[in-house]
Amino acid sequence: MINITDKILNFIDLHKGEEDKKTVIQNISSTVSFRGSNLWILVCAIIIASVGLNVNSTAVIIGAMLISPLMGPIVGAGFGLGMYDFELLKKSIKNLLIATIASLATSTIYFYISPFKEAQSELLARTSPNIYDILIAFFGGLVGVIAVTRVEKGNPIPGVAIATALMPPLCTAGYGLALGNFKFFLGAMYLYTINCVFICIATFVIVNYLKYPITRQLDTVHQKRVKYIITILILFLIVPSIYFAYQLFIQKNYTFKTETFIRKEFLDNDYPIIYKNIEYNTNPKRIELAFLTKKFNDAEIINLNKKLTEYDLKNTRLIIKQDTFNLSKDIMNKINSSKNLVDQKDVLINDLRNQLSQYQFKNLQIGSEAKILFPFVTSLSIGNYSSEHKDSKTKIIPIILFQSKKDITSETKEKLKSWLKVRLQKDSIEVYRQSVPEIKTLKK
């Protein structure tokens, strides 16, 4: 039995593959400070994350999280707390505050001047934290700190940056400040605080487990005081998050019951729905529906409202919209609001496409024609180069790169250049030759 226990403990021992403790502490201390390049990288990452939230692009948000250097001072605070190194702890908290203020200022300015003010799903997801966010922050922090203390760092660090998601809550808080929506601001800052605190606590746990050297010896009273503060902070963050998780569960359960009611009472009876709106935060809650052809009389609507209790949909009122004029207005308003957002994005996409098209050639026949007229050409590539002139105007100049096995005379190259000018209808072009190495056969 003892051998089995020893094998298990040996199997999960974190001391194997551990980096030298002094080296780890030096590395952590170097990532705490937010000066110069670190601050610039942070500001750029915040702008990228804000754009991602603004246009609802998950890929852009993930990219910003990978760039962000915010994990440095948070992990530094955990190391400082675990080793009772209060200088490192103070330095880490100070730099985290600097980073937080800089991030809030940047995201607030961005969202204030951004033409897109509508809250997207990626942004809304950061306004209502719950117990699951605590679990993600804590276990993500554990993975990050374990990776930091290894000789072989491996791949966990990028994953931790994505999972713990420190950037999006800060950007969402900036969005709330820019629009004066303090509910968004407080919800996002609560999520950000959860992430920071529980990554720090995870670091504290690992630092104690790996027995990092204590910088300052504390008596029992002071050690207990530190533990009491950590416990109170954990409870202070966990209790509201449990409440939010419970509210999320109630809302999801209500949505499921609502969908079940709609499916069984209407869709299963072949009543096509053309309009659906569920208001969860009103009193009473509202289910608004409109149908393609089916018309309900007053008695049927009263009977359907009574049926809501059979699906455990308490304090809910069913409203069936049958006024064609008002219904059309509601539907058109929703369509127009969506259409305006799509139109704005389409304009931006088209502008980018137009800019990109200036740097591209789509005529693929030129290479084939060149090989016929100039047999020495083995391949030909065309691209564009933008050149700034004294009058501040940008001029697009075609760049032609051709390959040939043998050298050609300047006269022949000039003929090729003249033909390309006529063929591309350009006054100015640049032509360059790239030699092709000859393949020599090996004789036995």
pLDDT at 409: 82
Mean per-residue pLDDT for 428-441? 64
Q: Over the stretch 197-230, which tens digit does the pLDDT of each residue have?
A: 888 888 988 988 888 888 776 667 777 777 788 7
Query: Do 251-355 and 2-217 have the same topology in CATH?
Result: no
Which tens digit of pLDDT belongs to each residue from 286-340?
888 888 777 888 888 889 888 888 888 888 889 888 765 555 555 555 555 544 4
Mean per-residue pLDDT over the chain, rounded:
79
pLDDT band at 97 (very low <50, low <70, confident <90, very high): very high
Q: In which band, very low, low, confident or very high, does the pLDDT at 444 lie, cut at 50, 70 and 90?
A: very low
Confidence of residue 18 (pLDDT cuts 50, 70, 90): confident
What pLDDT, in 10s, does the model give residues 376-432?
888 877 776 665 555 555 667 777 888 887 778 888 888 888 888 888 777 788 888
Q: Which of 67, 360, 417, 25 is nearest to 210 (CA)?
A: 25
Alpha helix stretches (DSSP H) within 310-364 = 324-357
200 touches 8 (CB < 8 A) = no
Distance CA 192, CA 71 (A): 12
- Which helix or strand (DSSP H or E) is residue 434 part of? strand 430-435
CA 407 distance to own-chain centroid: 52
On the question of pLDDT at 10 being above 60, the answer is yes
Q: Where are the domains of the chain?
A: 2-217, 251-355, 365-435
pLDDT at 104 over 90: yes
Exposure of 204 by Cβ count < 10 A (0-12 exposed, 13-18 middle, 19+ buried)?
Answer: buried
**Ramachandran angles phi, psi of 360, nearest 5°:** -130, 150
**Bond prior to 69 in cis (omega within 30° of 0):** no
pLDDT, one tens digit per residue, over 23-76 is 888 888 888 887 778 888 889 989 998 988 888 888 888 888 888 788 888 889
Q: What is the pLDDT of residue 440?
A: 42
Using an 8 Å Cβ cutoff, are 170 and 39 in contact? Answer: no
Mention every residue, 6+ apart, whose C-beta is less than 8 A from residue 186.
176
Report the CATH fold assignment for 251-355.
GMP Synthetase; Chain A, domain 3 (3.30.300)
* Two tokens, residue 68: 């962000």
pLDDT at residue number 359: 45
Contacts of 182 (CB under 8 A, 6+ apart): 176
Burial label, 409 (beta-carbon count in 10 A; 0-12, 13-18, 19+): exposed
Q: Which fold has domain 365-435?
A: GMP Synthetase; Chain A, domain 3 (3.30.300)
**How many CB atoms are located within 10 Å of the residue 397 CB?**
14
Q: In which band, very low, low, confident or very high, does the pLDDT at 438 lie, cut at 50, 70 and 90?
A: very low
Question: Tokens 């940056």, residue?
Answer: 161
Is 346 a residue whose pLDDT tops 80?
no
CB 77, CB 93: distance < 8 Å = yes
Mean pLDDT of 250-262: 87
- What's the pTM value of the predicted model, to 2 decimals? 0.60
Per the DSSP assignment, residues forming a β-bridge with 275 are 290
Q: DSSP per residue over 257-323, as a string?
A: HHHHHHHHHTGGGT--EEEEEEESSSSSEEEEEEESS----HHHHHHHHHHGGGGT-TTEEEEE---
* Per-residue pLDDT at 393: 59
Would you tell me how many other CB atoms lie within 10 Å of the CB of residue 144?
25
What pLDDT band is residue 110 in, cutting at 50, 70 and 90?
A: very high
Amino acid letter at 107? S
pLDDT tens readout for residues 156-182: 666 777 777 788 889 999 999 999 888
**Letter for the amino acid at 314?**
K
Q: In this predicted structure, what is the pLDDT of residue 442?
A: 38
Q: Please list, in sequence order, all residues whose beta carbon lies within 8 angstroms of the beta carbon of residue 75, skipping any fewer than 6 positions away.
A: 28, 31, 141, 144, 145, 148, 199, 200, 203
C-alpha distances in angstroms, 260 versus 269, 288, 289, 308, 318?
A: 13, 15, 14, 11, 14
What architecture (CATH level 2) is domain 2-217?
Up-down Bundle (1.20)
Adjacent-strand bridge partners of 395: 387
Whether the Cβ atoms of residue 288 and residue 277 lie closer than 8 Å to each other: yes
14 pLDDT tier (thresholds 50, 70, 90): confident
pLDDT for 249: 82
Nearest to 118 by CA among 330, 277, 329, 345: 345
- CA 277 to CA 249: how far, in whole Å? 20
Instruction: Return the SS3 of 16.
Output: coil
